[in-house]
Amino acid sequence: MYKLVILIESLDDFNAFEETWPQFLHYAESMPGLLRETTSRVDTLIFGEQTYAFMHEFYFETREQAQQAMSSEPGQNAGILLQSMTRGRMTLFFADHKEDDIENIRKYRVDKEDKPNADH
């Protein structure tokens, strides 16, 4: 699975951004091949210098589908609006997305008793 990730930097007028966000979603959610999406508001910077306020992810089956979606008319309209809304204060990238569930993770979890002790 591939995803298109949008990281939006902290903006001076985040209220104006939020007012335009539904119109952006109208375009973006019309992109062909879109499987699902997620939105995250960043509330705490733990490490690093870049301050992001918002993250949005669009999921596609393949990278090719993600690229086609961006090239489509709704994708182009969404991109133009996003540039305007953020005044270019954003980062976009594709990511090869892998996911696991907790039941599978627990199968491979190492107990503390099994770990080698770094002090010895």
CA-CA-CA-CA torsion for 88, 89, 94, 100, nearest 10 degrees? -150
Ordered by where they begin, the domains of the chain are: 2-114 (3.30.70.100)
> Rounded to an integer, what distance in angstroms lies between the CA atom of residue 53 and that of residue 42?
5
* pLDDT at res. 77: 97
User: What is the pLDDT tens value at each position of the chain, 120 positions in all?
Assistant: 999 999 999 888 888 888 999 999 999 999 999 999 999 998 888 898 878 899 999 999 999 999 999 999 999 999 999 999 999 999 999 999 888 888 888 888 776 555 555 554
* pLDDT at res. 50: 77
pTM: 0.81
